[in-house]
Amino acid sequence: MQNRLKDRIALVTGASSGIGEATALELARLGARVAIAARRRERLESLARQLAELGAEPLVLVADLGDEAEAQRIVHETERHFGRLDILVNNAGVMYLEPIAEADLGRWRRMLELNVLGLIAATQAALAGMRARRDGHIVNISSTAGRIANPNAGGYAATKFGVVAFSESLRREVYKDNIRVSVIEPGAVATELREHIGHAATKDALNAWADSMRQLQSQDVAEAIAFCVSRPAHVSINEVLMRPTDQER
Ligand code: NDP
């Protein structure tokens, strides 16, 4: 496996914690050079030091990816810096959960702008270069919430179902250009994601549910992503649905 991604350039969004951070490190271990994006500069710079030790020549990109111009900018900056972009991991996301009747639509709009529109904007920006080189891989992070819609998750599930639908449409538009598309759908992963849920009862219930099982770790998801992007050129892993063994739905 080591050096499988030698000479590959990757951009990982939402790399300042959780799945994105673990993915940036895993891709670097396989030899990729890695650009990392998120809002928290200090967290990115601390990760960049680890990536540098792995020889990944990291590029730090501080950006609010809920802004589509920023999502496009980080792709173009990566291309300018490294000469191209081979692997785009659209991972940045938030999860705001609350009953639909009580939903703060401003928050839900920001969630849609990040989880869906930011991902679409980054993808769109990456396509021109990938098409010109007839080479590229786009990995979109959805969720089991992109397959099963639970109560109090109407907005979040809408974003993650959206990511699944977008990914399938994208794949069918770009497969002839030799561009691969993978959508990853993890169940419960032990990260900071649940900390931002504002609705106390929903947060408590979800934390209790997650604590009742052996959750996935960010590294488990990072390894699945690394598997997808390190297959030979003729192999396209379109979808990875992965749950903790203890998770039913
Ligand atoms: P984390 O909260 O640890 O990571 C979220 C990442 O997204 C952080 O790096 C955060 O960085 C970044 N982010 C949030 N808002 C913005 C923004 N406006 N602009 C740029 N970056 C932003 O959670 P996870 O690692 O769990 O989440 C990663 C992805 O995995 C998400 O898409 C999530 O929906 C998905 N997922 C998670 C599951 C879980 O159980 N944890 C299950 C299934 C899917 P910063 O705050 O520095 O901007």
| Pick from 95, 96, 3, 82: nearest CA to 36 | 82
Residue 213 contacts residue 188 (beta carbons within 8 Å): yes
Atom of ligand 1 nearest to the CA of 13: 21
End-to-end CA separation in angstroms for the chain: 32
Q: Which residues contact 191 (CB under 8 A, 6 or more apart)?
A: 17, 18, 19, 218
- Give, for 86, the enclosing helix (H) or strand (E): none
Tens-binned pLDDT, residue by residue, of the chain (249 aa): 678 999 999 999 999 999 999 999 999 999 999 999 999 999 999 999 999 999 999 999 999 999 999 999 999 999 999 999 999 999 999 999 999 999 999 999 999 999 999 999 999 999 999 999 999 999 999 999 999 999 999 999 999 999 999 999 999 999 999 999 999 999 999 999 999 999 999 999 999 999 999 999 999 999 999 999 999 999 999 999 999 999 999
What whole-number distance in Å separates Cα of residue 104 and Cα of residue 106? 5
Is residue 15 within 8 A of residue 51, CB to CB? The reply is no
- What is the distance in A from the centroid of ligand 1 to the CA of 84? 25
**What are residue 176's DSSP bridge partners?**
none
pLDDT for res 3: 87
Assign domain 9-232 to its CATH architecture: 3-Layer(aba) Sandwich (3.40)
pLDDT computed for residue 70 by the predictor: 98
H-only helix segments in 113-232: 119-133, 154-174, 200-211, 218-229
**What per-residue confidence (pLDDT) applies to 1?**
62
- Inter-residue contact 105 to 48 (CB < 8 Å): no
What's the predicted TM-score (pTM) here? 0.99
Listed residue (85, 80, 89) closest to 37, CA to CA? 89
Q: Which residues are 37's β-sheet partners? A: 13, 61
The dihedral built from the CA positions of residue 229, 231, 232 and 238, taken in this order, carries a sign that is negative
Mean pLDDT of the chain: 97
Q: What is the pLDDT of residue 124?
A: 98
* Tokens, residue 65: 């990816």
Q: Where do the domains of the chain lie? A: 9-232
Return the residue whose CA atom lies nearest to atom 34 of ligand 1: 93
As given in the structure block, the two tokens for residue 215 are 């959750």
Tell me which residues have their CB closer than 6 angstroms to ligand 1. 14-20, 38-40, 43, 63-66, 91-95, 114, 141, 143, 186, 188-189, 191-193
Please check whether residue 124 is in contact with residue 75, taking contact to mean a CB–CB distance below 8 angstroms: no
The Cα 84–Cα 201 span in angstroms is 46
Distance 22 CA to ligand 1 centre (A): 12
Give the residue numbers annotated as catalytic, written as ranges: 156
What are residue 34's phi and psi, to 5 degrees?
Answer: -130, 130
Please answer whether residues 160 and 142 qualify as being in contact, where contact means their C-beta atoms are separated by less than 8 angstroms. yes
pLDDT digits (tens, 9 = 90+) for 83-113: 999 999 999 999 999 999 999 999 999 999 9
